[in-house]
Each structure stands twice: as structure tokens, then as C-alpha cells.
Amino acid sequence: MKKIALDMDGVLADEFGQFSQFYEKEKGIRITIEEARGKRLSEAFPGAANYIQSPGFFRTAPVITGSREVVEKLYRAYDLFIVSAAVEYPHSLTEKLEWLKEHFPFIAWQKIVFCGSKNIIGADIMIDDNFKNLDPFAGQTILFNQPHNHFADAGRHHRVTHWHEIESLLL
């Protein structure tokens, strides 16, 4: 059975939406996806880097539309692992685990990998929104479109904009 390494932030959890909500609450300014396209999160939301240190940031992130349904199908068809480079923000470990239990309760705890670098991961397919994780990966790569990678050349990575595209591609 083929293995899938599936990222959390920007693929399952709507990281952009969470930054947007926090930024609007603090600054009173709503940043749209169109305004953020081609910018890193730190550029799109100036001064908002501390949000990821805020209690609840990872725990309350919105779920990306379509992810729950498609991931459940993939989980039955593949050896699927959630892989998140979470150790940079230690409080995120508990919050991400709680978030997964709430929104993806069918994923067994043994299938959740929190790491520093995803280079250690051995799988056949990686779905991620960051080139730093996809570029060194030797298997099939799927780039989940996000504002920060929107204008970048996907290169060898297959770019998708919605979970139904992943469903069509892999199921």
C-alpha cells in the first residue's frame, strides 16, 4: 500500500484564514487572498509573526474546505500519515493534536508525525504547500495552492487548488 505524507498547516488547517482572523481582530484590517497572493505570511500580515505564539492559534484554525471528506477516503485507500513540522513551536504540538482529534477523529494517533524537518519522512506521495518540504522529497509531490506559493513555478510538483482535485488525482 502506498504511503502519503500529508501536511497540516495550509493543507488541512486554513493557516491563511487564521492569520487573517487574528490580524483583523488586532488591527481592524481584513487582508484578502488577492492582496496576499505572492507574499509570505509575514509580508501579507506585517507584525503578525507573534500570532503563532498565541495560545489557541493552532487549536482554532478553520478546516480547509473539502479536506475532511477527501482525507477520510484517502485514509481508507492509502497508508496515510499526517506530517507536521511542529516542534519549532512546542505549544503547537498539543494544539495540533487536539485539532486533529476534533476535525479528523478517524486518524489514529500512530499515523501522526510531528517533526522538525520533513526530510526524514519516507513515503510515496507528499502533499504540502511549501517548496522547502516538497523539493527534497523523492516521491510524487502535490503542491497545495496557497497565497504564498500562488505565483511560484510549481516545477515538478503537481499544483492543486482544491481537495476535489486531490480526490480526482489519487482516487
Catalytic sites, residue numbers: 7, 9
**Structure-block grid coordinates of residue 7:** 501536511
**Structure-block grid coordinates of residue 167:** 480526490
* Euclidean distance between CA atoms 73 and 104, whole angstroms: 12
**Structure-block grid coordinates of residue 51:** 500570532
Question: How far from the centroid of its chain's Cα atoms is residue 38's Cα?
Answer: 17
C-alpha distances out from residue 31 to 19, 34, 46, Å: 9, 8, 11
